[in-house]
Amino acid sequence: MTQKAMSQTAPGRQRPGADRRALRSALLYAVFGGLWIVFSDSALAFLVQEPDILTRMQTYKGWFFVGVTAVLVWWFVRTHLLALAGANAQLLERTAQLRTALAEREALLREVHHRVMNNLHVMAGLLNLARDRAGDAAAATALDGAIARVYSMALIHSQLYGSERLDQVDMARFARELYAHIADRHLGMQVEAVFDLDPVELHLERAVPCGLVLGEALSNVFAHAFAAGGGKGRVAVRIKQRPAGRVFLAVEDNGQGMPADQADGLGLGLIRSVAGQLRGELSITGEQGAAIRLEFPGEPPSQRF
């Protein structure tokens, strides 16, 4: 049996035993009190014949019984209060230990997120150097996609490092910051962004693949959607909360559509793979502009009941 199960079953085992001991003590006291009353009255009636003296002795006997009862009540209450004080002190000590352990765990997790974020930024910087030295446009485009993927993961850890919750990512804020980063890398293009974002927070297990899908979809928009139109256009980014805890993600543009060779490319292949990992429903259309829509469960399998 695990420690958690033992801690749950121990109170149930201790309470019947305590109830039995308390009942046994009460019965013994009741029997003792009844015998005292019966035999003390009989003894006094046998020993004392004068009514006035008998009445006085009965009074003394009653006060003696009250005194003994008061001492017993005082002892039991004192013992119970001392036990409660000891249990309360142990509980406070245990609570302080748990708070200290929780603070240490949070500090460790923040440090982990900080180190991962820094390492990913270093990777993005190295890829950016390689991109600047790329000899052809195809290689530069491929490196831009890789940089966007690395940056999307770094952005998630950056948000976790600075937030109160160390396992939840604000996807609305994430989408805006990721779009701003990708747009800054394509300053020559005039793309209007329209955001329709619900306050959706995703667990880290869901946020990372969702961020990869969003980054890949936005990278495709800037790389392919408006090349023939002089870099002008419009893109809509939607993240909506659906019933039953599901999340809807969409990136839609009014560009030139999706060529056949792009449909079989690395970027959309990654999106399909991640959609399968999320157990979501993916829709990709390339007529009258491209649209990538994904609906998936908002909670990871390990968090569902």
Q: Specify which of 42-51, 140-149, 189-198 reaches the highest per-range mean pLDDT.
A: 189-198
Residue whose structure tokens are 């390689």: 130
Residues 6+ apart with CB under 8 A from 231: 186, 188, 189, 190, 191
pLDDT of residue 263: 60
Measured in whole angstroms, the distance separating CA 291 from the mean position of its chain's CA atoms is 32
Q: Describe the strand order of the beta sheet including 281-285 as a list of residue ranges.
A: 190-197, 232-241, 246-253, 291-297, 281-285
Give mean pLDDT, residues 242-270.
Answer: 81
pLDDT in tens, 260-287: 656 666 778 888 998 988 899 999 888 7
pLDDT of residue 28: 80
The least confident of 37-46, 172-181, 210-219, 264-273 is: 37-46
Q: Output the furthest CA–CA distance in the chain (Å, rounded).
A: 127
pTM for the predicted model, two decimal places: 0.64
Please give the Cα distance from 202 to 165 (Å, whole number): 11
Question: What single DSSP character describes residue 224?
Answer: I
Give mean pLDDT, residues 60-77.
Answer: 83
pLDDT of residue 262: 61
Higher per-residue pLDDT: 262 or 207: 207
Alpha-helix residue ranges (DSSP H) falling in 48-170: 51-132, 137-162
Residues 6+ apart with CB under 8 A from 218: 148, 178, 179, 182, 235, 237, 251
User: Strand pairing of 168-170 and 201-203?
Assistant: antiparallel
